[in-house]
Amino acid sequence: MQASEVETRSGRLRGAIRDGVHVFRGIPYAAPPTGALRFRPPAPVESWSGVRDATRPGPAAPQIPSPLSRIMGAGTETWDEDCLRLEVYTPGADDARRPVMVWLHGGGFTSGAGSQEIYDGSRIARRGDVVVVSVTYRLGILGWLPLEAFAAEEGGSAGNFGLQDQIAALEWVSANAAAFGGDPGNVTLFGESAGAMSVGVLLGCPAARGLFHAAILQSGAAHNVHDDDAAEQISAAVLEGLGLTRSETRALRDAPVERLLDVQKSILETPMPDLRQLKFQPYADGRVLPEAPLRAIRRGSAAGVRVIAGTNLDEYKLWSLTDRKLNELDEERLRRRCNHLIPGHGDRIVDAYRSARKGREDTSPRELWFAIEGDRLFRVPCIELLEAQAPHAADVHAYLFTWASPAFGGILGSCHALDVPFVFGGVDREPMARFVGEGETVRALSELMQDAWIAFARGGAPEGWPAYDTTDRHTWVLGEEPHLRSAPFDAERRAWQGVGPQ
């Protein structure tokens, strides 16, 4: 395999050329967040002498393997606290100044890595003549513990270490993209699930301003941010699990990472009735994230940033694989779930969805649950982000991904994460091929989505895809027969008006 070398701000790297794409892997963008640097903002990476090998993927952040990731074939084999690495895929380490696309992986802020093969950016790089960068950031307790005691330290913050990792990676791209043939003045940030939620938060984060110029959010928006009350619950649970007081930050830094993961696992498995979001996620701490990002976006924090945002038709059906009580879901249990998750509005939402879908969709308790929970967690936040950004940027576009998976007898529908292999051109790679299906229609949809994302990174939306507004709500439906649609599932959207942040 032919080698390729580049000179970065920190030192020289040797990567490999695969099928015409120069691939550099495991590149450090910050110092290892270990020892005294654990639970601190990312520190600058130390320069090295000689040529550093960049042919092996960077490790994942410490994590508990996700059952869903394993099922979908996106598990991580190795992890290490020294995880602040990124992967670069480029058609040429030259002075071509190509558009740069920076990927933030999903995994609920507790699993995943930018180095996973499902995120291999070589096909996008080759097809679109763009530079693709995939980022690994800190997860779980190590990345998102919202402990105020950290903020009392010099240069400290109350958490959001994973968010600061993402900003540090964008700063690295700004400083080094040109060495890989990229244009630091044309950076598109894209991500899925927790990655898209991170993109939404970064749209409202002052420290990220100017580091990216366009954003693509797949199944995530700007809602996943803890307030003070939620942050207090999580920090108290972590400290209790470790048997520590709030002032024992040194003990947190000295704790074996396996012990932290054990406590994290216990917290993830323990119900917290008042918490209706992810347990580990960004925190509006008043420092790194001064306010709720959606509020900042409404005020113009990301003015001029071009945006594509969308969701999958059956997002929540992915979790049918792990919901042990799903087969017992009757009308009473459906209403009980919805009244818990949407206090004061649950019964009304159930009635509204049944009325809106009668005669055109299955209205059984099971199907209503999937539709309501998918909209609560993904589609409604996406719409609110689009509405918030539309007055501040001319290029704001919506999509709805509707391709259905044939796996497990078709029970997954167009579930969460099914769009990822289409975007990365991996629909023919196992094990994802068994989830997406096969045939010319699959390949054509994948190529269509790749070309759309690439065109957007280059500065424009595909022909015939109008901007999103609150009148027509133009949405590009990406499925077996791609087409434009106005205000899909609008009666369901209107049912959420007045509900408030979820």
Gap between the terminal Cα atoms of the chain: 50
Q: How many CB atoms lie within 10 A of CB 30?
A: 23
Using CA atoms, how far apart are residues 76 and 66, in angstroms rounded to an integer? Answer: 9
132 bridge partner residues: 89, 101
Q: How many CB atoms lie within 10 A of CB 383?
A: 23
The one catalytic residue in 81, 87, 192, 315 is 315
Using CA atoms, how far apart are residues 151 and 366, in angstroms rounded to an integer? Answer: 45
- With a CB cutoff of 8 Å and minimum separation 6, the contacts of 360 are none
Alpha-carbon torsion, ordered 413, 416, 421, 427, to 10 deg: -20
CB-neighbour burial class of residue 448 (10 A; exposed 0-12, middle 13-18, buried 19+): middle
416 is catalytic: yes
- With a CB cutoff of 8 Å and minimum separation 6, the contacts of 305 are 203, 212, 213, 214, 215, 389, 392, 393
The one catalytic residue in 414, 416, 446, 492 is 416
Phi, psi angle pair for 414, to nearest 5°: -95, 75
Using CA atoms, how far apart are residues 250 and 212, in angstroms rounded to an integer? Answer: 35
Longest dimension (CA), the chain: 68
223 is catalytic: no
The one catalytic residue in 122, 193, 235, 446 is 193
- With a CB cutoff of 8 Å and minimum separation 6, the contacts of 429 are 117, 421
Query: Which ranges of 72-187 would DSSP assign to H, the alpha helix?
Result: 122-128, 140-144, 148-151, 161-176
Using CA atoms, how far apart are residues 309 and 400, in angstroms rounded to an integer? Answer: 9
Q: How many CB atoms lie within 10 A of CB 200?
A: 32
221, two tokens = 């928006």
Using CA atoms, how far apart are residues 452 and 437, in angstroms rounded to an integer? Answer: 21
69 is catalytic: no
Using CA atoms, how far apart are residues 317 and 444, in angstroms rounded to an integer? Answer: 24
Catalytic residues: 193, 315, 416
